Every structure is written in C-alpha cells, then in structure tokens.
C-alpha cells in the first residue's frame, strides 16, 4: 500500500489551528469530511472514537509524530490525512515531546489486514529521519502532497 | 550469554497493530538482552516502536522472537506469553469503532 492511496490530498492541513490534541483530531476529521472522504453525519462519532482510542494509549510515538486512528464501518479502504502544527501539540507522547506531525488514519473494522498495511506504509516512511524532517518543514499542502508522492516513489 | 529463539502465532483479529506494538516495545525494553522480532523476511529491533510498527503482522502470522543476552530466556518467554494472550484483546474493542449506517 502507498501513502498516496491512503492520504486524501484535499484533506491535508499544512497549518493546524488546533492547540490541543482533541482540537487537532477534530480539525483533521473535519477536513476529511470536507474532502468527502468521511460522511458529514459521522464526524462527531469519528472524533469521539479517535479520542477514545487516544485516551486508552497515546499514539504519540515520539520524535514529533502522532498517529491517531479509529475504525469506521463502511469504508472501502483505509483513509487518512496529515496535519502539521508549527507550534506543536501535546499528545502525551512517549518521549513527552510536542507533536508537529499528526497523521490521522481511519480503517474499516472488517479489514484489519488493510489497516496493518496502511500502518506499515506510514511507518516505513515515518521511521526515516529525513521524512520526518520534511514532514515538519512542509508549509503548504502542495509541499506535503509532493513529499508523500516522492516517498511512494522511493519506497 | 544466551540466545533464545521462539515462534508464536498471532491469535487476535486485529493482529499486531499500534497498541500491541507498543506493548512489545515496553516489555522488550525491560530487559538488557538484544531482542529482535521477525515476520517472514522482515526482522526488526523489538525495542523500537517505529520499527515494530513496520511488521504488519496479521492474525495467523507466525512471529519469530530472538533474544540475545543474560536475560534472554525471560525476555523471550514474556513476549511469547504476550502474543499468545492476543495482547489482552481477545474481546472486540467497541470504544474506538464507529458503526456507520452506510
């Protein structure tokens, strides 16, 4: 699976307004709805599910990256988006540091294997220092789109 | 120094997703031994969350755990037990699931 198969380009948020974890999650789910990737009527429930998951155990895996996620029935494939925060958001990350790159992922509960493949596609890139650096420095939607397109070509 | 190699099958529906990956890393870091986990051709450091998340091990996948060091036996045993128990999630998780009517 490739990043460009997962990430909804129109839903990428290069300048998150959010100051808190929950606001960041809301902003990204809202962006997915505006892009037509998530039904508007599901927004509140999806936000709640992502926050519930995050409250069980942080997805702030360190080095400025968090990967909040939840399961949403009816999805044909995993869908995600990227939010970038210049100031950083507190996700109670494993390394206690702020999160600058928030990657939201929604998967169908009936497709656990696809969820794992999507996670693999994300972490394959996120584990690379240079990818995280560019992720954090990309100030426009176009820069972020090009970043994931290039990452797919390399991978 | 001892090297212990064990194989264990992933029993839970959602496989080795984020939470189980974190559980593996947390446990592995409690031991001084070097611990590696493999899923087929991919072998990663069990103490690094970014690496363990790359295994994409689904239900039924056979993980190979190799521990090398003074506490290798305990480290391998604890990790095998964690996987065998389905990472404590043999029941479905409803809190983070949205049932859309679509």
pLDDT at B91: 72
**Calpha distance B2→B68 (Å, rounded):** 6
Check if B19 contacts A (Cβ < 8 Å): yes
Distance (Å, rounded) from C-alpha A20 to C-alpha A6? 25
Q: Which positions 72-101 of B are in contact with A (Cβ < 8 Å)? A: 95-101
| CA gap A33, A36 in Å, rounded | 5
Is the pLDDT reported for residue B101 higher than 70? no
Comparing CB atoms, the residue among B17, B19, B100 nearest residue A74 is: B100
Residue ranges with strand state E in chain B: 2-9, 34-39, 42-45, 62-69, 97-98
What's A29's DSSP letter? H
Distance from CA of B98 to the nearest CA of A (A): 5
Q: Is the CB of B95 less than 8 angstroms away from the CB of A74? A: no
Three-state SS at A99: strand
Token digits for A84? 């970038």
Residue in B11, B14, B17, B64 annotated catalytic: B17
User: Active site includes A69?
Assistant: yes
pLDDT, tens digit (0-9, with 9 covering 90-100), for B32-81: 999 999 999 999 999 999 999 999 999 999 999 999 999 999 999 999 99
Q: Which residue of A has its CA nearest to B59?
A: A113
What is the ipTM metric for this complex? Answer: 0.83
Task: Compute the radius of gyration of chain B from its Cα atoms.
Answer: 14
Please indicate whether, in this complex, the C-beta atoms of B100 and A72 are within 8 angstroms of each other: yes
| Cross-chain residue pair A42–B49, CB shorter than 8 Å | no
Active-site entry in A21, A69, A84, A115: A69
Contacts of B101 in chain A (CB under 8 A): 74
Mutate to test the interface with A, among B18, B20, B26, B59 (most CBs of A within 10 A): B18
pLDDT tens by residue, chain A, 155 residues: 999 999 999 999 999 999 999 999 999 999 999 999 999 999 999 999 999 999 999 999 999 999 999 999 999 999 999 999 999 999 999 999 999 999 999 999 999 999 999 999 999 999 999 999 999 999 999 999 999 999 999 86
End-to-end CA distance of chain A: 10
Question: Which residues from A are below 8 Å from B98, CB to CB?
Answer: 42, 45-46, 49, 70-73
- The residues pairing with B97 across neighbouring beta strands, listed in sequence order, are A71
Query: Does the structure show a pLDDT above 60 at B102?
Result: no
What stretch of H or E contains A87? Answer: strand A79-89
> Does the CA dihedral A17-A77-A73-A125 come out positive or negative?
negative
How many CB pairs lie under 8 A apart between chains A and B?
89
Q: Give the C-alpha separation, B46 to B44, whole Å.
A: 6
B27 to chain A, any CB pair closer than 8 A? The answer is: no
Given this model, what pLDDT does residue B92 score?
66
How is A37-77 classified by DSSP, letter by letter? SS-GGGHHHHHHHHHHHHHHS--EEETTEE--EEEETT-SS
């Amino acid at each position: 699976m490739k990043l460009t198969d997962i990430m909804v380009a129109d839903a990428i948020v290069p300048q998150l307004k959010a100051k808190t974890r929950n606001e960041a999650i809301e902003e990204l789910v809202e962006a997915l709805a505006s892009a037509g990737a998530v039904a508007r009527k599901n927004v509140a429930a999806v936000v709640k599910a992502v926050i519930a998951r995050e409250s069980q155990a942080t997805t702030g895996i360190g080095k400025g990256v968090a990967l909040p996620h939840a399961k949403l029935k009816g999805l044909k494939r995993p869908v995600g988006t990227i939010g970038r925060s210049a100031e950083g958001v507190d996700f109670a990350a494993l390394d206690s540091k702020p999160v600058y790159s928030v990657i939201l992922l929604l998967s169908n509960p009936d497709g656990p294997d696809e969820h794992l493949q999507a996670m693999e596609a994300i972490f394959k890139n996120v584990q690379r220092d240079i990818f995280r650096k560019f992720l954090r420095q990309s100030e426009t939607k176009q820069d972020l789109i090009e970043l994931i397109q290039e990452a797919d070509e390399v991978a | 120094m001892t090297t212990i190699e064990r194989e264990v099958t992933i029993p839970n529906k959602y496989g080795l997703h984020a939470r189980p990956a974190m559980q593996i890393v947390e446990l592995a870091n409690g031991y001084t031994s070097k611990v590696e986990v493999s899923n087929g051709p991919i072998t990663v450091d069990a103490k690094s969350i970014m690496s363990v998340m790359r295994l994409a091990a689904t239900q039924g996948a056979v993980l190979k755990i190799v521990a090398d060091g003074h506490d290798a036996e305990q480290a391998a045993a604890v990790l095998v037990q964690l996987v065998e128990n389905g990472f404590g999630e043999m029941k479905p998780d409803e809190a983070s699931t949205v049932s859309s009517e679509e």
